[in-house]
Structures are given as structure tokens and as C-alpha cells.
Amino acid sequence: MRKISIFGATGSIGQNTIDLIRRAPEAYDVVALTGGANVARLAADAVSLRADVAVTAFEDRLPDLRAALDGSGVEAAAGQAALVEAAARPADWIMSAIVGAAGLAPGLEALKHGTTLALANKESLVCAGRLLLETARNHGARLLPVDSEHSAVFQGLVGEDIEAVERIVITASGGAFRDWPLQDLPKASLAQASSHPNWDMGQRITIDSASMFNKALEVIETREYFGVRPEQIEVLVHPESLVHALVGFNDGALMAHLGAADMRHAIGYALHWPARQTLPVERLDLARIGQLNFRAPDPARYPALRQAYEVMERGGLMGAAFNAAKEQALDEFIAGRIRFTDMAAVTAAVLDRIEAERDLIDAAMTLDNVTRVDHVARQQAARAAEERIG
């Protein structure tokens, strides 16, 4: 039996992971499940999967979690320290599917214990890619990509030499507003931004898909994970979301990865890697689909994309600043305080203003320094958001 834990078990990726686990319960010994406010879901899954411990990120939810687990034999815990402690528990494989920079500390802890980390939490790579990769290397741990594009590239590179790679193309659906007139974007509502044309995902990543902040993070994730140069990474709008990524080689070959828009493929690939196993995803009928469309992303519609390249160019801890500013801007949009198009204005303002803290950006990449940059960038973003309102 493989010992596994799922961080962010109550979310979209977490629930898809649990779906795969439930299909072969005899193969897995579940150590820890973690979640947030939805302690009922967390407790129900922890009990049915016979987890050792269930952890909610929020301390004020502990009494409810305890009550829900009463008599089940599953331990209850809460808070940041408990999440990190759960990540230190011996496991063969951990799914990192917390949303946001909050996933970094538990992910790092898991790697320190040599655990294989299946990484859906792209934010941690954007904030501290080098730190994660070095920690993995130093402790003989492995990071496996779960983001669909990065899983696709990873699969495209099996048996290949990264030196022969000329370019990596990641696709984007274009999000909820890809066909909207540009002048209507400032009026986009929260409900409209929260519905994705192809993928069923958590609310935050769905809005980030409409704004392309998700793809901006993924460009940086590509650079960190595969070690290619920024100019080798391209984004292609592909409304069908069936080609997830393409790898271009020095002999002109372009290897594409196709599959249904179902995260259980990328999760399952990371779960069974290096083997392949049968997965419950739709098999594509290309004759029925008939045609696939591609177009270049419009920079006026998606200002976040250019910012990703600016972040990579500026280097240091700029990724942590960018991610934090994006998270704060998204909070402000969700709370109804700023407009959809203000989010990219807020992150642009932070990228400018954080220059004043250049020593902070140039500091060594440690968890403490990343946390410090994250904090400063959120404050700057909140201020920039206030100026947009005022």
C-alpha cells in the first residue's frame, strides 16, 4: 500500500484526486487530508478514506472539525503549524492542491522529508521555484507537475534531451471573456468571471483564467519547472482546450499532447508515474471534433501575460511579489471593491512600487524572505486597489 496525503483535499483538484483514490482503495493508505472552511466535507472524506489526521487551515474551524470527527478515530488539527506538521508525516506521495501561496510551506516540508510532491499548487513554484527544486534535490525528493499544460510538457519530454528543446508552447482557452468586446471588460461581473467555458475548477483559478493571470503564472511555472529561457515559452489561445501543450524540438518537430479537459488525467499521470494506468477520462473522437483552432493572445485583452515576462526579467523574489499582488487584487475583485480590469492595473502598480524594496527582492530565496515579500506586495496591492476606488 502506498502512503498518501492530500493537501487541499476539499477543493476541485483534491476531490478529483479522491475520486481516483476511491477507485482502488486497497492500493492506498491515507495519512493526512487537509481543507479550509468546509470541515463537513473534510471530515466525511477523512472518515471514509480512514485517514490518520484531518487538518483545517483555519483555527476557528477546529471545534466543528472535532465534532464532525468525534468517535471516528481520525485525529483533528488546525492552523498553519498543523499543516506543516501533517506534511512532515511519512508518506510516499503528497498531492499539493492548496490554492495560493499558502501551499508553499507544507510543500517545502514534504520535500524536506523526501516525499514525492505532485504539484497542482503552481503559486508555490512562482513564489519560490528555485527553493522548491533545490530542496527536492537536497533531499532526494521529486516534484511532479499536475497543471495540465505542465503535465503535457513533462509527458512530451519523456526520453528526450531538454537541450534539444527549442520552445515550449502552452495553450490557453482564452477564458470567459475571450470573445467579449474589449470595452465591455471593465463591466465584467464576478458571476460572469467565475464561469469557465471548458474546465470545472475552483473559483480563484477560474477568474484567473478569464484574466489570463493563470497563464501568466503558468509561463513562470514553465520556466521554473523545465529550466528553459523566457523567450522559449509561448502562449497560444486554443478555445477547445484539447491540446494542452506542445514541445518544439531543434529538428522542427512539434509534439502536441491532446486529451479531454479533465484534470483526472494529469492527476492520474502524477499518481502512477512513471507507469501509465487506465484512467476514467473521456477518449477523444477527433473525427467528431473535426477541427481545432489556434490564435495568438491579444496583449490588449490580456495585460497579465506581458507582466509574467517582466517578472522573469526582473528576477529575484519578483515572482513572490507578483503572485501576492495578484492574490490581493483577486480578493479585491471578489469582494466587489475593484473592477475586473483593475486587477492587472493593481499588479502593474505593485511591480513598479516594489522596486523601492529592491533589497527585499534581491534577498536570498528562503521561506522567510518569500513570506516577507508576499506581505509587502499584498499591502502595496491593497493600497493600489484603494487608489483605483478613490
Q: How far is CA 229 from CA 137, 217, 226, 256, 292, in A?
A: 21, 15, 9, 20, 28
Residue from 45, 123, 147, 327 in contact with Mg ion (CB under 5 A): 147
Any binding-site annotation on 250? Answer: no
In eight-state DSSP terms, residue 10 is T
- With respect to ligand NAD, which residue has the nearer C-beta, 127 or 349? 127
Residue from 79, 114, 197, 202 in contact with ligand NAD (CB under 6 A): 202
Radius of gyration of the chain (CA): 20
3-state secondary structure of 298: coil
d(CA 371, CA 7): 20
User: Which long-range contacts (C-beta less than 8 Å, at least 24 apart) are formed by 285-293?
Assistant: 286/258, 289/240, 289/242, 292/238, 292/240, 292/242, 292/243, 293/238, 293/239, 293/240
- Within 27-56, which residues bind ligand NAD (CB under 6 A)? 35-36
Query: Is the CB of residue 92 less than 8 Å from the CB of residue 4?
Result: yes
d(CA 108, CA 370): 12
Residue from 97, 117, 312, 385 in contact with ligand NAD (CB under 6 A): 97
Q: How far is the CB of 148 from Mg ion (least distance, A)?
A: 5
Phi-psi region of 227 (alpha: psi -120 to 50; beta: other; left: phi over 0): left
Any binding-site annotation on 214? Answer: yes
- With respect to ligand NAD, which residue has the nearer C-beta, 5 or 12? 12
Regarding 201 and contact with ligand NAD (CB under 6 A), the answer is: yes
Selection from Mg ion, ligand NAD, none that 263 binds (CB < 5 to 8 A by kind) is ligand NAD
Read off φ and ψ for residue 133, nearest 5 degrees: -65, -40
Regarding 338 and contact with ligand NAD (CB under 6 A), the answer is: no
Regarding 64 and contact with Mg ion (CB under 5 A), the answer is: no
Q: How far is the CB of 149 from Mg ion (least distance, A)?
A: 5
Regarding 95 and contact with ligand NAD (CB under 6 A), the answer is: no
- Helices 264-272 and 148-156 cross at an angle (nearest 10°) of 50
Any binding-site annotation on 72? Answer: no
Q: How far is the CB of 80 from ligand NAD (least distance, A)?
A: 7
Regarding 239 and contact with ligand NAD (CB under 6 A), the answer is: no
Q: Write out the residues near ligand NAD by the rule CB under 6 A.
A: 8-14, 35-36, 57, 97-99, 102, 120-123, 147, 199, 201-202, 204-205, 263
What residues line the site for Mg ion (CB under 5 A)?
147-149
Q: Provide the annotated binding site for NADPH.
A: 10-13, 36, 38, 121, 123, 202
